[in-house]
């Protein structure tokens, strides 16, 4: 048994675990939102306030949960079955990167779905009230924004999972202090929202801070935040405790 022979099994395990966690969401989310939106449209008789406005937000924040789940469920099982924390990190980091790319593409597909639903009912595609999608460049920018915010959301989830795992299993802290400790883990996604000027709050914060890095500058900054956060999460994962009965407490 060598390191290289166990890594593919860990890679497959992480990939399948993440796939199972995201696939139902990816399938159900647009259907539920479409259903609610159509219902609200009929109730409000054509009002333009609807859930499609959050199209670019919810899938990104779902990735926070995805990162937590990876640490809370996949990592313990990998370690319990003879894998190392390093093997988990080696599997998780590139798969998180891939998942963020897929999320960027998914959001573009959702906008297409929004356009389809809107055309059926003769409405204007309402997501354009939140993001500008007049050109191919706008779509590329939306893809990049979503992908990079998604990467930082995954890093936030990974960090939060580690903090929770450590705080709870060290048994020094209850769940309330453990939850409070997770707040700083939100820094990557909050910072990414700001540098990317993402609606709703990132753009407001950036304006308040008078911060405008431009499209390329924002993307580079968000990429750096995501990469640094993932590296930090992988570093912290080296010593994370798994399992709950190792303490005599």
Give the separation between CA 110 and CA 174, rounded to whole angstroms: 40
Structure-token match 């219902």, residue found: 39
Shortest Å, Cβ 82 to other proteins: 4
- Does position 31 bind other proteins by CB under 8 A? no
Shortest Å, Cβ 229 to other proteins: 22
- Does position 242 bind other proteins by CB under 8 A? yes
Shortest Å, Cβ 84 to other proteins: 5
Task: Report 104-163 residues binding other proteins (CB under 8 A).
Answer: none
Dmax (CA) for the chain in angstroms is 66
Q: What is the 3-state secondary structure (H, E, C) of 53-80?
A: HHCCCHHHHHHHHHHHHHHHHHHHHHHH
Residue 155: name the closest of 167, 166, 163, 145 by CA. 163
C-alpha distances out from residue 86 to 54, 82, 198, Å: 36, 12, 33
Report DSSP state, residue 211. -
From the list 81, 98, 184, 201, which residue makes contact with other proteins (rule: CB under 8 A)? 81
- Does position 24 bind other proteins by CB under 8 A? no
Give the burial class of 60: count Cβ atoms within 10 A of its Cβ; 0-12 exposed, 13-18 middle, 19 or more buried.
buried
Token pair recorded at residue 159: 């960090």
The residue (of 176 and 245) whose beta carbon lies closer to other proteins is 245
Shortest Å, Cβ 174 to other proteins: 16
Shortest Å, Cβ 10 to other proteins: 7
* Contact pattern from residue 167 through residue 206 relative to other proteins, giving x for each residue in contact according to CB under 8 A and a dash for the rest: --x-xx----------------------------------
From the list 84, 97, 181, 215, which residue makes contact with other proteins (rule: CB under 8 A)? 84
From the list 30, 59, 83, 202, which residue makes contact with other proteins (rule: CB under 8 A)? 83
Element (H, E) at 223: helix 214-237
Residue ranges in contact with other proteins by CB under 8 A:
1-3, 5-7, 9-10, 12-13, 16, 73, 76-87, 169, 171-172, 238-239, 241-249
């Amino acid at each position: 048994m060598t390191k290289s022979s166990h890594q593919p099994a860990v890679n497959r395990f992480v990939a399948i675990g993440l796939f199972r966690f995201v696939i139902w969401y990816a399938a159900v989310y647009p259907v539920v939102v479409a259903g609610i939106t159509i219902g609200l449209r009929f109730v409000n008789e054509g009002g333009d306030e609807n859930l499609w406005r959050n199209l670019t937000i919810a899938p990104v924040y779902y990735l926070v949960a995805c990162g937590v789940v990876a640490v809370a469920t996949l990592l313990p099982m990998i370690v319990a079955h003879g894998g190392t924390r390093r093997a988990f990190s080696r599997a998780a980091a590139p798969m998180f990167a891939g998942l963020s790319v897929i999320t960027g593409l998914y959001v573009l597909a959702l906008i297409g779905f929004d356009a389809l639903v809107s055309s059926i009912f003769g409405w204007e595609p309402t997501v354009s009230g939140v993001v500008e999608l007049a050109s191919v460049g706008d779509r590329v920018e939306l893809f990049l924004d979503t992908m990079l915010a998604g990467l930082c959301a995954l890093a936030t989830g990974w960090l939060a999972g580690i903090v929770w795992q450590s705080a709870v299993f060290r048994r020094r802290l209850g769940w309330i202090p453990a939850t409070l400790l997770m707040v700083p883990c939100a820094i990557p996604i909050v910072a990414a929202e700001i540098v990317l000027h993402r609606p709703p709050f990132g753009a407001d914060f950036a304006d308040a801070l008078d911060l405008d890095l431009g499209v390329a500058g924002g993307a580079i900054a968000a990429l750096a935040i995501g990469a640094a956060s993932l590296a930090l999460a992988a570093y912290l994962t080296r010593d994370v405790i798994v399992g709950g009965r190792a303490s005599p407490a």
